[in-house]
Chains A and B, each alone.
Chain A
Amino acid sequence: QKEVEQNSGPLSVPEGAIASLNCTYSDRGSQSFFWYRQYSGKSPELIMSIYSNGDKEDGRFTAQLNKASQYVSLLIRDSQPSDSATYLCAVDSGGSNYKLTFGKGTLLTVNP
């Protein structure tokens, strides 16, 4: 059973701080990794994808991947109240049939 684990939180940070979200996965053969933001009652929105070890930066977001440790993280710099949402980590194991396995998500609250 392929699993994706996240701390459910809630994670609370003050406005302007760095929010750090973590995720581990069980399938060592996983190839692609994604972070989604989901507001309450809404569908997920892709915010970052990462495929190789190291860091990938996009604006205030940085995704970090360490395949040896089976660990992927998301850093949000200069956190804003509008960043308050549940962040879902998702992993695709690769192959011809794409299939995303999602974690339960971490609830982030950014306090003004």
Chain B
Amino acid sequence: GAVVSQHPSRVICKSGTSVKIECRSLDFQATTMFWYRQFPKKSLMLMATSNEGSKATYEQGVEKDKFLINHASLTLSTLTVTSAHPEDSSFYICSASTSGGRPDTQYFGPGTRLTVL
């Protein structure tokens, strides 16, 4: 149980284009989902917290107009990287919580490797 999927697993895009990443909780409903970013040899950094039906809460330094988050249902959250640039190349990981975001109830997706040329 508690499986989280992400799609796509890898994406390569040209600079200036937008990329959408989906995060789905397959066998549970997740009121809270989190989006993280991990650069090579760096720590996992929380970008935003997404609650179903409400606006996402972004961490300091994360541009909400560039990283659009939509949590339209209890099983799906999407992250859209708008006007992507090479510095946005990173490993994007979502997690979904079975209980309001408690860390021990967070299950991570397999991640999406974004490469912006």
Chain A residues within 8 Å of B, Cβ to Cβ: 4, 8, 32, 34, 41-46, 49, 88, 90, 92, 97-105
Contacts and interface: CB of A to CB of B under 8 A. Distances in A.
Contacts, number: 56
Interface size range on B against A = 20 to 34
Contacts of B100: 98
B104 A102 contact: no
Nearest to B101: A98
Q: Closest 10 CB pairs between A and B?
A: A43-B108, A98-B101, A102-B44, A102-B43, A104-B43, A43-B111, A92-B103, A49-B104, A43-B93, A43-B110
Contacts of B108: 43-45
B110 A97 contact: no
Decide if the interface of chain B is mainly helix, strand, loop or mixed: mixed
A75 to B, nearest CB: 20
Interface string B83-117: 00000000001000100111110101111010000
